[in-house]
Structure 1
Amino acid sequence: MNRWLFILFIIKVISAGPTPVVLWHGMGDTCCMPYSLGYIKHFLEQQIPGVYVHSIRVGDNTVEDLENSYFMSPNEQVQDVCDMLVKDPKLQSGFNAIGFSQGSQFLRALVQRCGHKLPPIKNLITLGGQHQGVYGLPHCGAIQHRSCDYVRKLLNYAAYYSWVQNSLVQATYWHDPLDEKTYKKKSEFLADINNELTINQTYIDNLNSLENLVLVKFTNDSIVQPRETEWFGFYAPGQAKKLQKLQETELYLQDRLGLKKMNEAGKLVFLSLPGDHLQFTQDWFINVIIKKYLNPAAE
C-alpha cells in the first residue's frame, strides 16, 4: 500500500471513533431510566470515551415506551425500530447491539428481518433473552408443581388467540411444548423468527452476517422459565420436564437459523453467570463484554 494511502487509512480509522452501541430494554422498562438502561448508557459512555449509545425508545416518551413493552406487537416494534436506526446518521459505519431480556429476541428479529437494510451489525449480545420462548411464570415454584401447570394451561389457552397475540407482547413468545403444532401455527412472532414453519433464507443470511452472537444465561434466573431458553435450549417436545440443549433441538439439528453453522465457525458464544435475572457486576461487564466485544482495542 502506498505510504500516504496508509497514513490516510490510519487517520480515518482513528477519527472514526469507537463502534456505536444500540441497546433495547426488556419488559416493564424504558430506554432511559437512570436506574436501568439510562445507567447502562452512561456507564458505557464512561468506559468507552467518545462512544455513541442509542438506547431504543418505542413511542414518543418513556411512558409510552414502558406501555409498549407490554401492549405493542413486537412485529410493529421491530419495523419501527428498523426505520429509526436506518435514519440514524451516527450508526452508518456499523454498530454493536445489546438486548436485555425480551429486548434480546427483539434485536435478533431486527437483525434477521432488517439486517440487510442497516449498516453492519457487528456483535449482538443478548442478556437473559427468551430465544426459544417461555413456558412458565415469574417466581413460580418448582416447574413440575401442578399449580404451575394449571396456570400454564390457562395462559396457553388464550395465548394463541389472534387478538391476544396482537395485544400482549409476552403472548408472542409463549411456547407450549405440550402443543408444538398450535405454537408453530399461531405464534405470530417467535415461531416466525425461529423459522419454525418455513425457512426464510434472509433470516439465516442476516444472522450469520454477525461477527458474534453472544448468549448470556443467568443460572439462578427466577424470572425466565425455562432458563435454558437464554441459550436457545427448551423443553423436549410433548412434555414440560425434560430439557434439551440447543444442540439437541430440531432448530439446531435442521439448522433452521444457521446456528449450527455459526457455532462451528466460532461465532456463537455461550456465557453464564450465577445470579438472578439481569444481575451482573460492573467488573464482569467491563472484562467480559466491553473489552472483548465493544471496545477490544482498549485491551
Structure 2
Amino acid sequence: MAAALFGFCLGFAVLSLVKSGLPPPLVIWHGMGDTCCNPFSMGAIKKMVERKIPGIYVLSLEIGNSLTEDMENSFFLNSNRQVEQVCEQISKDVNLQNGYNAMGFSQGGQFLRAVAQRCPFPPMLNLISFGGQHQGVYGFPRCPGESSHICDWIRKTLNLGAYTKAVQEHLVQAQYWHDPLNEEQYRNSSIFLADINQERYLNESYRKNLMALKKFVLVKFLKDSMVDPAESEWFGFYRPAQAKEIVPLQESLIYTEDRLGLKEMDKAGQLVFLASDGQHLQFSEDWFYSNILPFLQ
C-alpha cells in the first residue's frame, strides 16, 4: 500500500509539472572546497542551464550563512547534518513541491543520493552525479581551490585515524573514506557511506526511495586523478583485502545482493552510465548540453 501511494504521489507530482507548463526545477550541490555561487563553477553551471531552459528555477545549495561557511562546511560539517539541512530546505521551498531534478558535483553526488534515499518528499525526479564517490575513496591525491593547508591536514588525519569517533564526526571526507584493507572496521565505523550503501543492515525505505528515481545518471571522468579509485564514480571499488584490482558495480555485493535496488534499476533502464574524457569535473559546454540537458527538460 505504501509503495503504491508513493508511486501515485510521484506520478501526480510529474503531472502537475507538465500541466503548469514550467520545466522541472533543479537543485545543485557543489563539491569539496567549492561554494554554491562560485562564478567559475556552480555559478557558471547555473547560467548554462538557465540559458538553455528558459524559466527554470535553479537552487544552488549554500550550506551555511555565507560563502565562507559554505566552503568550510564542505570539509567540517557532519555529512548527515548537511543532508538533514538540505532536506529541510527543500521541503520548505515552494518552488520544489511538485518535484525536482538534482545535480551533485563530486561529494555533492553522494550527498544528493542520501537526500533521495532519506527524504522522498518532495520527490526527486532525476539524479545526475558528476564524479560522485559512491563507493567512497581510498586516497586523497589532490584538493581544489586555495585550501592546500587544509588538504595537507586532511591527508595526515585520514592516514592516522579515519575511523576514530572524533574524526568521523567532524571531518566530511572521513565519512566516505573506504579502506578495502579493513572492510569490517569501515562497515562498523563509517557514519555516512556505510549507512547509505546499506552495508550494516537493510533499510527498505532507502531502497524504495532510490528506485523511485526516473533516471540515476552516473558521470565518470576518464582522466580523473582526484578520486581514488575513479571507478567509485560508477559504483566500482577495490576488491576487499587489497588496493589494486577493481570490482565493477555489476560484480559487487551492493549489486548482486541488490542492497540499493541498483540491479533492478539497471535492468529497467533507470541507471545511465556516462563518461567525460577529462580530469575531475572537467567537461565542455557542448558535452553538457548533449549529454545532460535531456535529463533536465
Q: Give the TM-score taking structure 2 as reference length.
A: 0.89
Q: Distance in 1 between matches of 2:155 and 2:179?
A: 9
Q: Distance in 2 between matches of 1:81 and 1:231?
A: 24
Q: Is the 8 A contact 2:16 2:98 kept in 1?
A: no
- Determine the structure 1 residue equivalent to 2:217: 214
Report the CA distance between 1:93 and its aligned residue: 1.2
Report the CA distance between 1:13 and its aligned residue: 3.5
- Residue 22 of structure 2 is aligned to residue 17 of structure 1: yes
Runs of 5+ in structure 2 lacking a partner?
1-14, 144-153
Return closer, same or farther for 1:226/1:52 CA change in 2, 3 Å cut-off: same
3-state SS, counterpart of residue 216 of structure 2: strand
- Determine the structure 2 residue equivalent to 1:59: 64
- Aligned counterpart for 2:138 among listed residues 135, 139, 159: 135
- Residue 42 of structure 2 is aligned to residue 40 of structure 1: no
Q: Distance in 2 between matches of 1:154 and 1:99?
A: 26
Q: Is the 8 A contact 1:135 1:152 kept in 2?
A: no
Return closer, same or farther for 1:156/1:180 CA change in 2, 3 Å cut-off: farther
- Alignment root-mean-square deviation, CA: 1.9
Q: Distance in 1 between matches of 2:295 and 2:185?
A: 38
- Determine the structure 2 residue equivalent to 1:170: 173
Report the CA distance between 1:56 and its aligned residue: 0.5
- Determine the structure 1 residue equivalent to 2:123: 120
Q: Distance in 2 between matches of 1:178 and 1:156?
A: 13
Q: Is the 8 A contact 2:31 2:107 kept in 1?
A: yes
Runs of at least 4 residues off by over 4 Å: 151-154
Q: Is the 8 A contact 1:179 1:238 kept in 2?
A: yes
- Aligned counterpart for 2:252 among listed residues 238, 242, 249: 249
- Determine the structure 2 residue equivalent to 1:103: 108
Task: Tell me which structure has the larger Cα radius of gyration.
Answer: 1
Cα distance per residue 1:4-57 (max 9 Å; x no partner)? xxxxxx998464311100000000000011111011111111110000000001
Q: How many residues align?
A: 273
Cα distance per residue 1:88-131 (max 9 Å; x no partner)? 0001111100000000000000100111xx22211000000000
3-state SS, counterpart of residue 103 of structure 2: strand
- Residue 282 of structure 2 is aligned to residue 282 of structure 1: no
- Determine the structure 2 residue equivalent to 1:3: none
Q: Distance in 1 between matches of 2:54 and 2:157?
A: 50
Return closer, same or farther for 1:205/1:153 CA change in 2, 3 Å cut-off: same
The letter of the residue matching 2:296 is L
Return closer, same or farther for 1:231/1:97 CA change in 2, 3 Å cut-off: same
Report the CA distance between 1:155 and its aligned residue: 2.7
- Determine the structure 2 residue equivalent to 1:263: 266
Report the CA distance between 1:157 and its aligned residue: 4.1
Q: Which moved more, 1:156-165 or 1:214-223?
A: 156-165
Q: Is the 8 A contact 1:156 1:174 kept in 2?
A: no
- Determine the structure 2 residue equivalent to 1:236: 239
Report the CA distance between 1:247 and its aligned residue: 0.7
The letter of the residue matching 2:71 is L
Cα distance per residue 1:196-225 (max 9 Å; x no partner)? 010000100000000010000001001000
The letter of the residue matching 2:99 is G
Q: Distance in 2 between matches of 1:109 and 1:12?
A: 24
Runs of 5+ in structure 1 lacking a partner?
1-9, 141-150
Q: Distance in 1 between matches of 2:261 and 2:178?
A: 21
